[in-house]
Amino acid sequence: MVNRQFTLFLLLILCFFTSCKQQLNNEETALNNKEKYTRTTADYLAMLLSIDTLSIEEKKKVVQQEKDQFTAVANKEENPFYHYISGLEAYQNKAFDEAQQHFTAMQTTAQQAEVTHLKELYILYSALNSNAIADAALMEELLLKTSEAEKANSSITFRFYDALAQAYFKNRNPAKALEYATLHFENHPLNKSVVVQQRYYEISLLLAITSGNEDKIDHLRDEFKRLLAQTQDPLATARYYDLETFYYNIKKDYPQALASSQESFNQLKKLDALTVASFNNLATSFIKNNLVDSALTYYKEGLHWADTRNKGQEKGIIYSGLSNTYKIKGDYKNALIALDSCYKVETANQEKIKADFIAELQTKYETEKKDSEITLLKTNNDLNQKVIKQQWRMFTAFGLLIVFAFLYMQIRYRQRLLKERNQRLETENKKMQVEQRALQLQLNPHFIYNSIANLQGLIVNDQKRQANEYLLAFSTLMRNILEHNRCEFITLKEELTTISNYVKLQQMRYANKFEYTVNCHDILIDNIEIPPMLLQPFVENAIEHGFAHIDYAGKLSMEITQENQHIHICITDNGKGLNTPNQKSQTKKSLSQTITQERLDLHYNTTQKRAYFEVVNKADTTQQTGVVVHIYLPILID
């Protein structure tokens, strides 16, 4: 047996040498891969600034190129900028929950303060775009992180101003949004760029119109048009006319609003950049100018355009406008048909939103599960590398020692098994002895004799009802004792029932010389278990010795309470106490208490659960007579 184990152990050592060599080769390969691509924090901050001047499509290309650079990088999960680039990609695709997970996964150090600010910024951006409004908690976090960036003089503080501007705009506070948009532009390192300026004046014009700030509108319009003349950006020009339409509609100058809406529509049509909203906006302008037939024409063109470009899910707004237009013309049949089509489109859209939401939750779950598995694998891999290195250094010096230690452990293991077996046998033997002695003391034989004599006396005196009650209580007590002797534990309720029958017999024997009360304090005695006949010796001592030869009414009470994880059973009597010259009586009580403690040790204290009792003579601490017994048992639930 030992030779076979030794041979297997040597084979394991050989496998260990081979795996160590392979591990070192893997580490060298990973190190070479890691050296292929290294970028600094300054590089990524420069990229963050540079893409501010690019279009949306150009930004996506840059982010994709940066992510491709990580393909061959070992341990890329440890690089915070891998998660940053992955988060940017998800953010651009409007997968804000996924983006937030990537930004949260960025691991930074105290020396990477700018990276920490970048991480916090984009976590806030993701949270901001995931909700229709910025709630109080998010606003508080935004203001706090902006203040921290300002105090640290961070180079990306201007981006926190942009986030605050977006948050206030979502919360319909255009005045505060304009304030932070201005701070964003003034602190932007590239605020001399025509593209950055154009975007600033476009956003500022929208916020000024929304807030009704007439003092700024004309100036902002002039600046926006001046920059458009420099950039010749047709999309920006279309957006300018959209803002003009919005402005003239607020001023209720509907002819000018229609002219601006037509200019925006024509610009987008040249660029093949029309949307369903473009047709709806122009048709709405025609309606406001009472040109209902023209509005119908563009609504219908919008439906045809949406069908040819597979934009059916966006047709709801067209059908809604079409229904209102038919109602204006008094064509209620077509208005109802259009409204029904609008309802079907919106219903389909809601179902798609629900399906997308479920799919997003599933993706999020899978992503979190994958991240957890990767983290666990990485942790295990790091631990294994450390263990392998340590074993590699120590193996040569301690090889023989391990072999001898292996044999020594086998011997000790066998010895421990034998020792545990002996301990179990000794414990079982002791348990049998204690239980045998406990059975001998469960009931005083004199009590049984006296009970039968009392029963006989009741029968002789023709006290049939009392004899029947006595016999019923006595038989129930005997049956409970016999049944419980076969159990290692019984419920506290069963134990109290047995004690109640025992006390009832004693009360009938002593002609109600004492009264007995129990208070369980709402404790679930049906579920708590204790050893059988544990309380009877203490109750017997109180009756037989405490109430013997007293010339006043005896009182025996039992209080059951819960203290932490223990049940506290307090048995109190007002008998004559422990000061008695009867040596035989004292010896019997001492013996029963010794056996009771042995039973507690056997059932509880071998499993590191503390169980004990204490007997207090009232006369030692007060002017009263009697005895108080405190029993503390761990709670065992059935």
pLDDT digits (tens, 9 = 90+) for 363-380: 777 877 777 787 788 788
**pLDDT higher than 50, residue 476:** yes
> What is the mean predicted confidence (pLDDT) over 267-295?
90
> Confidence band (pLDDT; 50, 70, 90) for 433?
low
Least confident of 76-90, 433-447, 452-466, 495-509: 433-447
Helix (H, G, I), strand (E, B) or coil at 243: helix
Q: Which of 104, 99, 133, 134 is nearest to 116 (CA)?
A: 104
Look up residue 619 and give its two tokens. Answer: 């006369």
CB 508 within 8 Å of CB 576: no
For the stretch 81-102, pLDDT in tens is: 888 888 888 888 888 888 888 8
Token pair 């067209």 is found at 318
pLDDT at 582: 56
Higher per-residue pLDDT: 439 or 384: 384
Higher per-residue pLDDT: 380 or 629: 629
Look up residue 339 and give its two tokens. Answer: 């409204």
CB 84 within 8 Å of CB 44: yes
Helix (H, G, I), strand (E, B) or coil at 634: strand
DSSP β-bridge partners for residue 327? none
Helix (H, G, I), strand (E, B) or coil at 543: helix
Total-model pTM: 0.50
Q: Which amino acid is at 558?
A: M
Least confident of 210-219, 400-409, 443-452, 527-536: 443-452
Domains and CATH numbers, the chain: 42-191 (1.25.40), 459-578+589-634 (3.30.565.10)
pLDDT at 586: 57
Alpha helices in 510-625 (DSSP H): 536-541, 583-603, 618-621
pLDDT at 607: 58
pLDDT at 638: 67
Contacts (Cβ under 8 Å, ≥6 apart) of 72: 33, 36, 37
Helix (H, G, I), strand (E, B) or coil at 329: helix
Burial degree of 537 (CB within 10 A; 0-12, 13-18, 19+): buried
**pLDDT higher than 80, residue 505:** yes
Look up residue 621 and give its two tokens. Answer: 């601490």
Helix (H, G, I), strand (E, B) or coil at 69: coil
614 sits in the region (left: phi over 0; alpha: psi -120 to 50; else beta) called beta
Among the ranges 11-20, 102-111, 319-328, which has the highest mean pLDDT value?
A: 319-328
Q: Which amino acid is at 392?
A: W
pLDDT at 421: 84
pLDDT at 305: 92
Token pair 């005896």 is found at 554
Q: Nearest 5 degrees, angle CA 489-CA 493-CA 496?
A: 95
**pLDDT higher than 60, residue 404:** yes
CB 37 within 8 Å of CB 70: yes
Q: Which amino acid is at 481?
A: I
Percent of the chain with pLDDT over 70: 88
For the stretch 105-154, pLDDT in tens is: 888 888 888 889 888 999 999 888 888 888 999 999 999 999 999 999 99
Q: Which of 170, 173, 223, 168 is nearest to 184 (CA)?
A: 168
The CA distance from 147 to 390, in Å, is 47
DSSP β-bridge partners for residue 529? 491
CB 508 within 8 Å of CB 454: yes
> Confidence band (pLDDT; 50, 70, 90) for 406?
confident
Taking the alpha carbons of 564, 566, 572, 576 in that order, is the dihedral positive or negative? Answer: negative
Q: With the CA atoms of 6, 9, 14 and 15 taken in that order, what torsion angle do they form, in degrees rounded to the nearest 10?
A: 150
**pLDDT higher than 70, residue 590:** no
Q: Which amino acid is at 317?
A: I
Look up residue 350 and give its two tokens. Answer: 């809601």
CB 216 within 8 Å of CB 207: no
The CA distance from 536 to 43, in Å, is 84
CB 321 within 8 Å of CB 300: no
CB 25 within 8 Å of CB 66: no
pLDDT at 564: 83
